[in-house]
Amino acid sequence: MMHLKKIIGKVHFRARLDFDEALALYQQADFHLLGQLAHGVRLQKHPEPLVSYVVDRNINYSNVCICGCRFCAFYRPPGHPEAYVLTREDLVRKIEETISLGGTQILMQGGHHPDLPLAFYEDMLRFIKSRFRIHIHAFSPPEIVHFAKLEETDPAEVISRLRRAGLDSIPGGGAEILVDEVRDSVSPNKCSAQAWLQVMEEAHRQGLRTTATMMFGHEEEPGHRIAHLLALRDLQDRTGGFTAFIPWPFQPTNTAIPRSPETPVAYLRLLAVSRIVLDNFDNIQASWVTMGPKVAQLALHFGANDFGSTMIEENVVAAAGVHFRLSVSEIRRLIRYAGFQARQRTMAYEWVGDTEMGGHGDGETRR
Amino acid sequence: MFDYRFYQDLDLGDIYRKVQAGRRLDLEDGLKLFSCQDIVAIGAMAHKVRTHLHGDVAYYVMNQHINYSNICVNGCRFCAFGKQQGDPLAFELSLQAILEKVRARGNAPLTEVHIVGGCHPELRLSFFEGLLRELKAQHPSIIIKAFTAVEIDHFARNEDISTRDVLVRLKAAGLDMLPGGGAEIFSPRVRALLCPEKTAGEDWLKIACEAHQLGIRTNATMLYGHIETIEERLEHLVALRELQDETGGFLCFIPLPFQTANSGLTGIEPTTGIEDLKTMAVSRLMLDNVPHVKAYWIMLTVKLAQLALLFGADDFDGTVIEEKIGRMAGAESGQALTRSDLERIIREGGFEPVERNSFFERVHES
């Protein structure tokens, strides 16, 4: 058994934890201690009492997918009566709404559609950029790998073409757990861990910033979660291209993995360990979409310094039966009551609007 | 776990020393705790007290809630449940209907029924006595926890007898325990604004005291997050603590976050998770003489209730079939948790789930 005291000492001195140390801390440290250590790391990285959030919308251009991941409640196979590809009219309306609500970006992702060529996505990006001034955060690594396969080219070429068409950054989705023995079971048709990491490395090399996620609580072991964190940390050492890490628990309703969802205590422990282990990541996001506003608020004391997105629209978690809704003013209130000032940011973590007030009117902290 | 120096840096060194030594916190200490931004530090302190009292056990109960009627003469501003007689949404259950609800649970191993309702203008005390006798006759092993101090007060007025006499008669008919509802916030200022018709705070305490003297254990609640100040919350806790010093009759304290959705009060924002956990933790720290603190998941949400076990609470309440009061106020939690859900959530929080009865005695599987 690892000596916990020694590991805690390393965290205090900001020394990097190796796999065994990280796993021992994750499995053995007391709940409050993990929170306090993670919050200490967070305060050292961000001494100002600020919590950021982004105003954006998830646009799912299509739910048609040939991947068939067992954890997914969103996709429909080709030809299914509920299968869709978004029309240009819908796309325009969704973006106009986003901008009218103060949004700065759209997060665009979809299923692995078997027939749409890369030119479809290039056209979509050009179309959006020709009509709107908005940041396009789109196409997770598995989509890019899928596009490359269809186009019989490599991901580097796909990234380059998408970038030229207007892609601004890449979301960290599809990471699930970056360990192939887990992926082989839960998402056998999706790109490998190595391929996911290579897409991100290439994107960073081409100057695109990206985020990174982890979906935990399905069939992986605790050690797989730590291995995932270390794989991200290694890549970040090489590129520095990740802006943020976002872990969230798998939501099992309507999926092919029957189990109970991870509970808040498990979520906060994982979040805290992520903050401690990912010493080269600037930002850790809380996931109110899966955990609800009350737990997400507490996450701000367990390592998270970002409240994520306002999610004007969200479909993937909703398909798994989880429906939380938060307005900008409610997000700001939750942040204030947690003891921080709320600031709207962009994907690149630059402040939006009046830096004092964030441009959304700020009341006094309640009571 | 965190040491004196850690708390000293938060200006909580003295409070930490008092808690370590088992000395009582005063109202000023409570204010300091509430104003501290470090929720994890406050939670860890409350957790220490909770662990000292209960180890790593978290309790739950197999129970059924029954609301016999929503007809109420009180009209409290915060209530989404009460209706006037004649209102199309008003209901009252017959004796048979209530008995049927318990019978309908079939073989579910209930140990408790929790029965409360509005202050009905016409239902007589004899109706409730009959109900208790029938329930006891049909389900001799089920503990009946029924009628808040507010209902006891109402029955006394209706019958023109003393509250003590009401308690004596109900006890003789089979009443085992009083739930803790109707306490709201004791402050006369708040009650004058929110629930002027309702039993005054001092009368609530007097009725709890009478119950304790008659050997009837009770719980106590606090409804927070509406128009009360932090001082008024702390005064509420101190009032309970003082009565508990006298009688020792309170078993469990239950802080209840006000549900804003469907109440008659406008302009009030719902409590946040951190506020709920802080109130839980400070309650545990202030109420040094009340054995149990409950995370009532119906009001808190199941997710926050699990976390509350690490912020001072030791009880998860129960399976709570058919609760209506929190539900109609907009509480979003589902109607019932199964035993396996409850046990899993407790275990995943790091605790050993223990089934209890209303008196917090362990229930042994037969």
Determine whether the interchain pair A301/B310 forms a contact, defined as Cβ–Cβ distance below 8 Å.
no
Contact with chain A for residue B38, Cβ under 8 A? yes
The CA distance from B69 to B90, in Å, is 8
* CB proximity B162 to A under 8 Å: no
- Residue B2 in contact with partner chain A when CB distance is under 8 A: yes
Q: Is residue A361 part of a domain?
A: no
ipTM: 0.92
Task: Determine the Cα–Cα distance for residues A221 and A223; give it in Å rounded to an integer.
Answer: 5
Report H helices in A187-315. Answer: 193-205, 222-239, 264-277, 288-299
Chain B residues whose beta carbon lies within 8 Å of the beta carbon of residue A291: 303
Angstrom distance (rounded) from CA B150 to CA B191: 13
Q: Which of A216, A265, A275, A330 to mutate to test the interface with B (most CBs of B within 10 A)?
A: A265
A301 touches B39 (CB < 8 A): yes
Q: Give the position of tokens 């609301």.
A: B67
How far off is chain A from B112, nearest CA to CA, in Å?
A: 27
A198-244 pLDDT, tens digit each = 999 999 999 999 999 999 999 999 999 999 999 999 999 999 999 99
A33 touches chain B (CB under 8 A): yes
Nearest by CB to residue A32, choosing from B47, B273, B276, is B47
Q: What is the domain extent for residue A117?
A: 31-344
- Residue A205 included in any domain: yes
Give the contacts of B13 (CB within 8 A, at least 6 positions apart): B4, B5, B7
What confidence score (pLDDT) does residue B332 get? 55
HSE-up of residue B122 (Cα within 13 Å, Cβ side)? 7
Flag whether A18 is in a domain. Answer: no
Distance CA B154, CA B163 (A): 9
When the pLDDT of each residue in chain A is averaged and rounded to a whole number, the result is 93
CB atoms within 10 A of CB B266: 7
Q: Which of residues 98-117 of A touch B (CB under 8 A)?
A: none
Q: Is B306 on the interface with A (CB under 8 A)?
A: yes
Got the DSSP string for A181-214? HHHHHH-TTSPPHHHHHHHHHHHHHTT-EEEEEE
Kindly give the parts of chain B with pLDDT less than 70: 1, 107, 320-335, 365-366
Q: Does B269 touch chain A (CB under 8 A)?
A: yes
Report chain B residues whose CB lies below 8 A from the CB of A31.
Answer: 310, 350
Q: Which of residues 54-83 of A touch B (CB under 8 A)?
A: none
User: Comparing C-alpha atoms, which of B163, B236, B248 is closest to residue B201?
Assistant: B236
Q: What residues are paired with B208 via a beta bridge? A: none
Torsion on CA atoms A68, A70, A71, A74, rounded to nearest 10: 30
Q: Looking at chain A from residue 176 to 205, which residues have their Cβ under 8 Å from any Cβ of chain B?
A: none
Q: CB-hemisphere CA count at 13 Å for B248?
A: 1
pLDDT beyond 80 at A297: yes
Instruction: Give the C-alpha separation, A328 to A309, whole Å.
Output: 9
Q: Collect all residues of chain B within an 8 Å Cβ-Cβ radius of residue A252.
A: none
Nearest CA in chain B to A31: B310
pLDDT band per the 50, 70, 90 thresholds, residue A265: very high
CA atoms within 13 A on the CB side of A287: 23
Closest by Cβ to A367, choosing from B230, B310, B348: B230
Hey, is the C-beta of B160 within 8 angstroms of any chain A C-beta? Answer: no
Q: Which residues of A touch B275 (CB under 8 A)?
A: 337
B220 backbone dihedrals φ, ψ, rounded to 5°: -145, 140
Other CB atoms within a 10 A radius of the CB of residue B96 amount to 10
User: Could you tell me which residues come within 8 angstroms of residue A30 by beta carbon, excluding any fewer than 6 positions away?
Assistant: B1
- Chain A hits for B353, CB-CB cut-off 8 Å, are none
Task: Look up residue A23 and give its DSSP letter.
Answer: H
Nearest Cα of chain A lies from the Cα of B199 at a distance, in angstroms, of 27
Task: Look at B345 and A263 and tell me if their CB atoms are within 8 Å.
Answer: yes
Cβ proximity of A166 and A126 under 8 Å? yes
**Assigned domain for A180 exists:** yes
d(CA A289, CA A287) in angstroms, rounded, equals: 5
CB atoms B44 and A32 under 8 Å: yes
Q: Which residues of B touch A265 (CB under 8 A)?
A: 306-307, 310, 348-350
Q: Is A241 helix (H, G, I), strand (E, B) or coil?
A: coil
CATH number at residue A294: 3.20.20.70
Q: Give the separation between CA A115 and CA A257, rounded to whole angstroms.
A: 28
- Report all structural domains of chain B as residue ranges with CATH numbers, in order of start: 56-356 (3.20.20.70)
Are the beta carbons of B58 and B305 closer than 8 angstroms?
Answer: no
State the Cα–Cα distance between residues B285 and B58, nearest whole angstrom: 18
How far is the C-alpha of A193 from the C-alpha of A179, rounded, in Å?
Answer: 6
Say if B10 is an interface residue toward chain A (CB within 8 Å).
Answer: no
Burial code of A257-269, b = ≥16 C-beta within 10 A, e = fewer? eeeebbbbbbbbb
Nearest CA of chain A to the CA of B130: how many Å?
43
Structure tokens at B328: 């109609």
Compute CA distances B46 → A72, A263, B279, B313, whole Å: 40, 21, 11, 9
CB pairs under 8 A between A and B: 81
Candidates B12, B31, B40, B340: best to mutate against A (most CBs of A within 10 A) is B40
For residues A275 and A285, give the distance between their C-alpha atoms in angstroms, rounded to a whole number: 10
Q: What is the structure's pLDDT at A362?
A: 41
pLDDT of residue B34: 98
Q: Are B65 and B321 in contact (CB under 8 A)?
A: yes
Residue whose tokens read 């197999």: B62
- pLDDT at residue A357, as a whole number: 44
Contact B1 A337 (CB under 8 A): no
3-state helix, strand, coil in chain B (%, to 5): 45, 15, 40
| pLDDT at res. A365 | 35
Here the tokens at position A86 are 């978004």
Cβ distance of A263 and B349 shorter than 8 Å: yes
B40 vs A264, A301, A334: nearest CB: A301
Contact (CB<8Å) A298/B277: yes
Residue A264: which of B40, B43, B306 has the nearest Cβ?
B306
Please report, as a single letter, which amino acid is at residue B327: R
> Which of B1, B274, B349 lies nearest to residue A30, judging by beta carbons?
B1
Alpha-carbon distance A232 to nearest alpha carbon in chain B (angstroms): 27
Contact state of A260 with B344 under an 8 Å Cβ cutoff:
yes
Beta bridge partners of B224: B257
> In this complex, do B301 and A293 lie within 8 Å of one another by their Cβ atoms?
no
The two three-digit tokens of residue B318, written as one number:
């129960």
Residue A30 has pLDDT above 60, yes or no: yes
Q: For chain A, how are helix, strand and coil distributed in percent, rounded to 5?
A: 45, 15, 40
CA A227 to chain centre: 18
DSSP state of A153: S
Q: Is B276 on the interface with A (CB under 8 A)?
A: yes
Residue A247: inside a domain, yes or no?
A: yes
A38, part of any domain: yes
For helices B149-159 and B125-138, angle between their N-to-C axes, nearest 10 degrees? 130
Encode pLDDT of A37-92 as tens digits.
Answer: 999 999 999 999 999 999 999 999 999 999 999 999 999 999 999 999 999 999 99
Q: Is there a domain that residue A350 lies in?
A: no
Q: Which helix (H) or strand (E) holds B292?
A: strand B292-293
Reported as type and span, the H/E element at residue B189 is helix B188-194
Query: Rounded to the nearest 5°, which phi and psi values hold at A273?
Result: -65, -35
Query: Are A297 and B304 inside 8 Å of each other by CB?
Result: no
Residue A202 within any structural domain of the chain: yes
**CB B170, CB B135: distance < 8 Å:** no
Whether the CB-CB separation of B298 and B337 falls below 8 Å is answered with: no
Is residue A287 within 8 angstroms of chain B, CB to CB? no
In total, chain A counts a number of residues equal to 367
Split into its structural domains, chain A has a count of 1
B313 touches A: beta carbon within 8 Å: no
Euclidean distance between CA atoms A241 and A235, whole angstroms: 9
pLDDT digits (tens, 9 = 90+) for A315-363: 878 887 877 788 899 999 999 999 999 999 999 999 997 544 444 434 3
pLDDT tens track for B69-120? 999 999 888 888 899 999 999 999 999 999 999 988 776 788 999 999 999 9
> Which residues in chain B touch residue A35, judged by CB atoms under 8 angstroms apart?
40
**Strand partners of residue B115:** B66, B146
For residue A2, which phi and psi values (nearest 5 degrees)? -60, 145
The pLDDT value given to residue A2: 64
The distance of A64 to chain B (nearest Cα, Å) reads: 33
Is A266 within 8 Å of B276 when comparing Cβ atoms?
A: no
Bridge partners, A59 (sequence order): A108
DSSP string, B109-172: ---EEEEE----SS--HHHHHHHHHHHHHH-TTSEEEE--HHHHHHHHHHHTS-HHHHHHHHHH
Q: Which residues of A touch B307 (CB under 8 A)?
A: 264-265, 268, 295, 298
